[in-house]
Structure 1
């Protein structure tokens, strides 16, 4: 049975972590399949949006510690490179040019939280739990957790979350800005959002995504420079031409 499913619905792709009997905990075989699925989406010129979800009650319960980390007595530089390979298995989600939506219906803990955070938009269900639990188990955060949380909720809220290591419920995640929606059926809503995003001009959506990333890391002048170029290019798009024609007739 595949540990990761990749499904197609028109221009929308869905990646499903498919090990519900272990709450989609991550081991090397699952991560290898996840990396392959992300690479397939990246190479798919017909893909316009992606949903990431977990089968069963959990989104992803985090790492299978024995399988994923291996010999923890190895020298730190060797362990560091090993961990970077783990991170690369899912952080390819951040590099996709298309909009990505995580549907989090249950627990998203540790590395599972990172997979959700690597998506552009998170839709949470009433039983969702976002667990930056690293400090509780004596482990430093990894996989981009510190950076991605800080981008979403700021340094003070990230400090509070990482220091305590508590699981954050869906309502609190929505209030903080980890999740963008809280809804009874997060999978259906994520698919709906992805379908809406997929209807947009793909070049425009890619530029919007790039513009957001620039705004995360650049000054306002750099952001304005890219916005001016991208907006100038979009002025001649078929969609804007049609809108301008309708506007002129009012």
Structure 2
């Protein structure tokens, strides 16, 4: 029984909704445990072909519930750090899924809420979406992969500017800087439509494609070519491509 999240199935698509609208889906420890369990469930689900992540109500996720997230802040930093690493792991499992993951951001995402969106492969921003990178404004260093995600999506200089400035980006700014992948009047409908499209792809093809793109962030061209040549050669032997070739050659 879950109290703060909903994981539902729609054919091959899985929907994970943050479901605490009365507090704008702010993250407390029980909610983080539910997110982690939902991600493990999806990872173990052989029928799952895509995951859509959204927030109930007007917000996507208002970030961490600071009343409970850090525990006793008079502890040594080393002790707090160990707890934080467990918090990060609660949602960063989304990044490791081998199926496409899509965030539907219809309202505000703050701090760790932005991280949850950015852990997804694709971010769809609606007209009311806002991405609040306000760590520095409250004297807090970014966490949960924030600097890593933002640097890869926005570039070093733009990520530095956004974090030092504690910027709040609207949907258009998020799209222009690369934080958001697409804009949509109805981000959940758009995310679901993309999920249906991706779910029709061969799962092995999707898995290898995700790996190639992720690898390309750090690997050199020769390393990526080694993987691509193996993955493409494997795809050639699969029914979908062979059916296409048979039609092409008619």
TM-score (norm 2): 0.98
1:231, 1:164 → 2: CA distance? 44
2:205 counterpart residue number = 204
1:68, 1:215 → 2: CA distance? 34
1:121 counterpart residue number = 122
1:231 counterpart residue number = 232
- Deviation, structure 1 residue 46: 0.4
In the alignment, does 2:33 pair up with 1:32? Answer: yes
- Deviation, structure 1 residue 18: 0.2
- Deviation, structure 1 residue 40: 0.2
2:77 counterpart residue number = 76
1:109 counterpart residue number = 110
SS of alignment partner, residue 216 of structure 2? helix
Post-superposition Cα deviations, 1:154-210, rounded to whole Å, max 9, x if no partner, equal 101101110101210000111111111111100011000011000000000000001
Post-superposition Cα deviations, 1:111-140, rounded to whole Å, max 9, x if no partner, equal 000000000000000000011110111000
2:107, 2:195 → 1: CA distance? 20
CA-based RMSD of the aligned residues comes to 0.7
2:8 counterpart residue number = 7
Runs of 5+ consecutive residues of structure 1 not aligned to the other structure: none
- Deviation, structure 1 residue 66: 1.2
1:175, 1:57 → 2: CA distance? 23
- Deviation, structure 1 residue 219: 1.2
SS of alignment partner, residue 217 of structure 1? coil
Post-superposition Cα deviations, 1:68-88, rounded to whole Å, max 9, x if no partner, equal 111111111111111000000
Post-superposition Cα deviations, 1:80-104, rounded to whole Å, max 9, x if no partner, equal 1110000000000001000000000
SS of alignment partner, residue 180 of structure 2? coil
SS of alignment partner, residue 72 of structure 1? coil
1:83-102 matched pairs, under 5 angstroms:
83-102=84-103
SS of alignment partner, residue 240 of structure 1? helix
The alignment covers a number of residue pairs equal to 249
